[in-house]
Amino acid sequence: MLRRILQIALDTPLDKLFDYRWVSNSNTESLPASLPLSGQLALVPFGKREVMGLIVHVKDESEIDDNKIRNVIAVRDQLSPLSDDWLALCRFAAGYYQRPLGEIMLPSLPKMLRSENPVSINRALKKISTPPDTASAPAAAPALNAEQQQAVDAIVSTQKFAPFLLHGITGSGKTEVYLHAAAQLLNTSSDAQILILVPEINLTPQLENNVRARFGNVPVATLHSGLAEGERLRHWLAAHLGQARIVLGTRLAIFASMPKLKLIVIDEEHDPSYKQQEGLRYSARDLAIWRAQQLDIPVVLGSATPSLESWQHAQSGRYRKLALKARAVQDAALPAIRLINMERDKPVEGLTAGLTHALQQRLDRGEQSLLFLNRRGYAPVIACDACGWVSHCTRCTAFMVLHKSEKRLRCHHCALELRIPKSCPTCGNVDLQPLGRGTQRIEESIQHQFPDARLLRIDADSTRRKGSAQEAFDAVHRGEVDILIGTQMVGKGHDFQNLTLVGVLNPDTALFSHDYRASERLFAQLMQVAGRAGRTAQKDGGSVSEVLIQTRYPDHPMYAALIAHNYDQFAASLLAEREQAQLPPFQYQALLRAEARTLEAAIAFLEEAVDGLAHPDVTLNPAMPAAMTRVANVHRAQLLIESSSRPALQAFLKMWMTELRGMKTRVKWTLEVDPVDI
């Protein structure tokens, strides 16, 4: 009788593996005759439930009493096991982010793979074993320019671990570099796989279409949270079985099982969406570097405005810098960026005369304009002039935002909704005024000033329905829109052909944020949105593309760097500041967050958590209320831990986690390593 002990990772908050017994001749018929292997999924009893776990070790004996060990129900042996490399990636992530292994492994797998019933797996396996006949002629690739060619050569000639930072201005043809490098690798090896990560696939289906068209009959899988479960399973399996040669995905795809992975590409590597902001708060970019190093393959980080972390590594020589300095399309010029001083050119209904004039010009010429405003809703707050009342959310440290067309006040943090009060709740004054401007209010002003223009607003409110964002972008591409008004949703990756004006409204607030990363983000965002303009060759008699920024602080150095399109200069000045202030990337951080009924309870928990602790190389800062102190009546506090040594911080966190897990408390807490939102 064959008998083994399986150490299994389960998706539980308990930081341990669970022992189960596997017996070959048990009367459960679904048990396989072959021995189970690490990396296979196994259905096991857990309390009164049956749950799916992942076999991490196979042993002969357990340290636990035999009568306490339960039998495995079934091993999913129709599936080849997940590789040791994949297990190692999860183990690293678990260790680095201080989470139980099972909490990393299982949620990263498609839900249907984890279901009790194997029918869907068998069905999916069958379906992908006969891939649809898609053999279409691949679309022609443009000839690369010299800079692009150099970058491709550098990437494909490396046969081992090498991190590249591809720094290319917007429109310089970074995508072509990825695609050519991918094509060469696929040609030289019959089974190589390539992983391409993008920030938000839903917003950039153009890329997916380009990839599919370019590679004709090479199977491409996509992995992102917008897929239906069945699709997700099929795409995941195609990657796992080595059938998909290219996997295109969002941050979660960093955990894709790809047995023949030979290149990782991270497009727009600076984008904040590579950092997961809930549950396991991992950075897909950082994990990509680790994964590439472990597999000894190249990894390419591409951006027009790299994160300071990556830029610093490029400066120090740890990453190799590849630069694309010109726009790829002939005669496509970078847009001229100009500031409009709002102190001199006073805005009317949010628009300066300078911007209004430029909009009129574009309308006259039949060209498109984009107005960028990173604030949705009608107005961020309504107020009473008579007594000073403002529309605070009663549950959060935030204002209720006016959504005029829906006749609602909405809190964007806890989703509380109220009818707009007819009069001031405090003094009865009926004349309540909206303060400030959101996208809806700007839309109203534009409608007012340009009644014949065709407007389209794209923000989270206008695109709630599935597919509606895509429809909206298609309308812009078809030329059915004269003036597009949008939040950062419109900034990402779109190649608008007839867009010659970008107007930026009220970006100033980010310059004075409590968040030290705000100006880095603003610069990246503005560069990106500016990059939407002037992507095609200038037309005869047409205008040079322009970006007009309405600001009250025209002398701010961030704007000077922006006008000069000088990322290098801006990055250098920010890095100098960060080094002096001992902030990342010169310092490593972790944040312990606490949530409780009262602020006092949250703070008290944090103080207890560090009570009596000290470490020579780690700074434990005092507990503080979080910037958003209250959300949905939950009070939030945090405690920052810092060190100039990553190993010292990691060692401290490991020790600390054991203590934290042992604390008896009703406070909800989480530890985040490398936090970005402090």
Give the x-and-dash track for 494-533 against ligand ADP (CB under 6 A).
-x--------------------------------------
Give the x-and-dash track for 115-154 against ligand ADP (CB under 6 A).
---------------------------xxxx--x------
168 lines the binding site for ligand ADP (CB under 6 A): yes
CA distances from 12 to 63, 107, 283, 613, 654 (A): 21, 11, 21, 28, 18
H or E stretch at 579: helix 567-581
Which residues are bridge partners to 22 per DSSP? 4
540 φψ region: left (φ > 0), alpha (ψ -120 to 50), beta (else): beta
> Interaction with Zn ion in 370-399: which residues (CB under 5 A)?
384, 386-387, 389, 393, 395-396
142 binds, among Zn ion, ligand ADP, none (CB under 5 to 8 A by kind): ligand ADP
640 binds, among ligand ADP, Zn ion, none (CB under 5 to 8 A by kind): none
Compute the least distance from the CB of residue 495 to ligand ADP, in Å.
5
The vertex-432 CA angle with 429 and 438, nearest 5°, equals 170
- Taking Cα atoms as reference points, which of 186, 199, 304 lies closest to residue 249? 199
C-alpha–C-alpha distance, residues 299 and 103, integer Å: 26
Choice from 44, 411, 481, 510 touching Zn ion (CB under 5 A) = 411
Applying CB under 6 A, the span of 119-127, 173-181, 197-205, 448-456 interacting with ligand ADP comes to: 173-181
Applying CB under 6 A, the span of 15-23, 54-62, 168-176, 192-200 interacting with ligand ADP comes to: 168-176
CA distances from 418 to 70, 423, 426, 631 (A): 53, 13, 16, 17
Choice from 114, 214, 232, 413 touching Zn ion (CB under 5 A) = 413
CB contact set of 451 (below 8 Å; sequence gap of 6+): none
Compute the least distance from the CB of residue 367 to ligand ADP, in Å.
18
426 lines the binding site for Zn ion (CB under 5 A): yes
Using the structure block, give the residue that is written with the tokens 């990363």.
517
Give the x-and-dash track for 175-214 against ligand ADP (CB under 6 A).
xx--------------------------------------
- Taking Cα atoms as reference points, which of 450, 458, 502, 488 lies closest to residue 476? 458
Compute the least distance from the CB of residue 246 to ligand ADP, in Å.
16
The vertex-422 CA angle with 419 and 425, nearest 5°, equals 90
Choice from 12, 243, 429, 538 touching Zn ion (CB under 5 A) = 429
Applying CB under 6 A, the span of 6-14, 170-178, 378-386, 505-513 interacting with ligand ADP comes to: 170-178
C-alpha–C-alpha distance, residues 644 and 616, integer Å: 11
**Residue number, 133 or 331, with CB nearest to ligand ADP:** 331
CB contact set of 573 (below 8 Å; sequence gap of 6+): 557, 561
Tokens of 607: 């103080």
Q: Which amino acid is at 424?
A: C
153 binds, among ligand ADP, Zn ion, none (CB under 5 to 8 A by kind): none
Choice from 4, 114, 167, 174 touching ligand ADP (CB under 6 A) = 174
C-alpha–C-alpha distance, residues 571 and 558, integer Å: 10
629 lines the binding site for Zn ion (CB under 5 A): no
C-alpha 458 chain-centroid distance: 19
Q: Which three-class secondary structure state does DSSP give residue 370? A: strand
Applying CB under 5 A, the span of 145-153, 253-261, 417-425, 591-599 interacting with Zn ion comes to: 417-425
Q: Which three-class secondary structure state does DSSP give residue 236? A: helix
Give the x-and-dash track for 476-495 against ligand ADP (CB under 6 A).
-------------------x
User: Contact residues for ligand ADP (CB under 6 A)?
Assistant: 142-145, 148, 168, 170-176, 328-329, 495
User: Contact residues for Zn ion (CB under 5 A)?
Assistant: 384, 386-387, 389, 393, 395-396, 411, 413-414, 416, 424, 426-427, 429
